[in-house]
Amino acid sequence: MNPIQRNALLALAITIGLFITMLAAVDYLNNARIEEIGRIEDKIALDTLSLETQFDLLAEAPCKEVSEGSVLSSELNDLAARLSYTEDRLGSDDEEVIKLKRQYTLLEIKDYLLMKRLSKECVDLKPVFVLYFYSNEGDCPGCAEAGYALSYLRETYPKLRVYSFDYNLDLGALKTLRAVLDIKEPLPAYVINGKNYNGLVSLTELEDKLPLELLATSTATSTKKTN
**For residues 185 and 105, what is the distance between their CA atoms, to the nearest angstrom?**
19
Residue percentage of the chain with pLDDT more than 70? 67
According to the model, what pLDDT value does residue 41 have?
63
**For residues 11 and 58, what is the distance between their CA atoms, to the nearest angstrom?**
69
Q: Is the pLDDT of residue 105 over 60?
A: yes
According to the model, what pLDDT value does residue 102 have?
87
According to the model, what pLDDT value does residue 191 have?
95
State phi, psi for 210 to the nearest 5 degrees.
Answer: -85, 135
Q: What is the mean pLDDT of the chain?
A: 77
Residue 197 neighbours by CB under 8 Å, 6+ apart = 189, 190, 191, 209
Secondary structure tally for the chain: helices H, strands E: 6, 4
Q: Which range, of 5-19, 28-42, 147-161, 175-189, averages the lowest pLDDT?
A: 28-42
According to the model, what pLDDT value does residue 199 have?
92
According to the model, what pLDDT value does residue 219 have?
39
Average pLDDT over every residue of 202-214: 88
Report pLDDT digits (tens) over 72-94: 566 666 677 767 777 777 777 77
Identify which has the larger pLDDT, 62 or 196. 196
Identify which has the larger pLDDT, 172 or 17. 172
DSSP string, 1-20: --HHHHHHHHHHHHHHHHHH
**For residues 63 and 184, what is the distance between their CA atoms, to the nearest angstrom?**
35
Can you say how many angstroms the Cα of residue 193 is from the centroid of all Cα atoms in its chain?
Answer: 19
Residue percentage of the chain with pLDDT more than 90? 23
According to the model, what pLDDT value does residue 128 have?
87
Q: Is the pLDDT of residue 225 over 50?
A: no
Identify which has the larger pLDDT, 20 or 71. 20
**For residues 167 and 83, what is the distance between their CA atoms, to the nearest angstrom?**
16
Identify which has the larger pLDDT, 91 or 27. 91
